Amino acid sequence: MTDVPAVRRRIATNGIELSVLEAGPADGPVVILAHGFPEVAFSWRHQIGPLAAAGYHVLAPDQRGYGASTRPKDIADYDVHALTGDLIGLLDDAGAQQAVFVGHDWGSALVWQQALIHPERVRGVVGLSTPLLPRSKREPVATMEYVYRDRFYYILHFQEPGVADAELDADVRTSFLRMFGGMRAGASGFSGALPDDGRGFLDRLDAVAEPPKWITDEDFDVFVDTFTATGFTGGLNWYRTFDRNWRLTAPIADRTIAAPALFAYGSEDPVVSGVDLDRSTPWFDDYRATLVLDGAGHWLQQERPAEVTALLLEFLADLPDPPR
């Protein structure tokens, strides 16, 4: 981390404890950084210091189910109300009315919902690598099962407790080599185009011998060591609440995001490939931009740290002053 060092502390929130990296002035405008799967707060190591140095009070948790935070066993404890409630608890602990919420991957999906469920607490919202997707007309898992039928689709593969867990836990270093190094445009684990021939998720990603150039061996080992200790089940449980979340958010199905919003993704990200991003924009009242980082893959804030930090600082500087 650069500029302003972060301090790790535990914050009790919403019936659990979150292990949080915190930096910047206590009275500064709050920015909450929400990581995705399979990551931890360390994923924001390049952004925390510069944001804190610019005067922001930065909070980056190991989210529920990850790292040193509480990992509930019940899948229902990972629904959208639990997860958004965790982040509201961080905001309450900071003594602030609002925050700018920044998310990557699953964290991006979460902060979009944060802005819909708790609009009065959201000063601005930035999603990286996962766009806001319009609500499906049917329960999502049934819809995916109909669309993909006898084809492999990773979200369906992640549904059955214990299956993907065992696959990813078996050799954690190989899991991260393939996910960090093999998730590029065209990765067959994400396309939903190939038959379900018995292969798992990792076998559909490129075999990679060394970590990608954008991460040091030391930083790579942080992820390997963390998930060797915890396993992947906590993060996978987020995928197992799709239908539950769909039902829980029915009362706000027609709500739009009022807060200023920005979305950024890498041109080589297989998660975004084929997604019609124009379907998202009607659900925003103050949509600022869609930014594409040419040549970048899925792990945006780690692959292109300077560019992501710069776009965050520019977005933050253009917001009105936070309420006191």
Provide the annotated active-site residues: 105, 298
Q: At what angle do helices 45-53 and 305-317 cross, to 10 degrees?
A: 40
The Cα–Cα gap between 112 and 133 comes to 9
CA distances from 83 to 89, 93, 105, 153 (A): 10, 16, 14, 24
Question: Which pair of structure tokens corresponds to residue 21?
Answer: 């990296």
Bridge partners, residue 265, by sequence:
292
Bridge partners, residue 195, by sequence:
151
Q: Where are the beta strands (DSSP E) in the chain?
A: 7-13, 16-23, 30-34, 57-61, 99-104, 122-128, 261-266, 287-293
The angle formed by the CA atoms of residues 5, 296 and 50, to the nearest 5 degrees, is: 20
Contact 119, 50 (CB under 8 A): no
The Cα–Cα gap between 60 and 33 comes to 5
The Cα–Cα gap between 256 and 116 comes to 7
**Strands ordered across the beta sheet of 7-13:** 7-13, 16-23, 57-61, 30-34, 99-104, 122-128, 261-266, 287-293
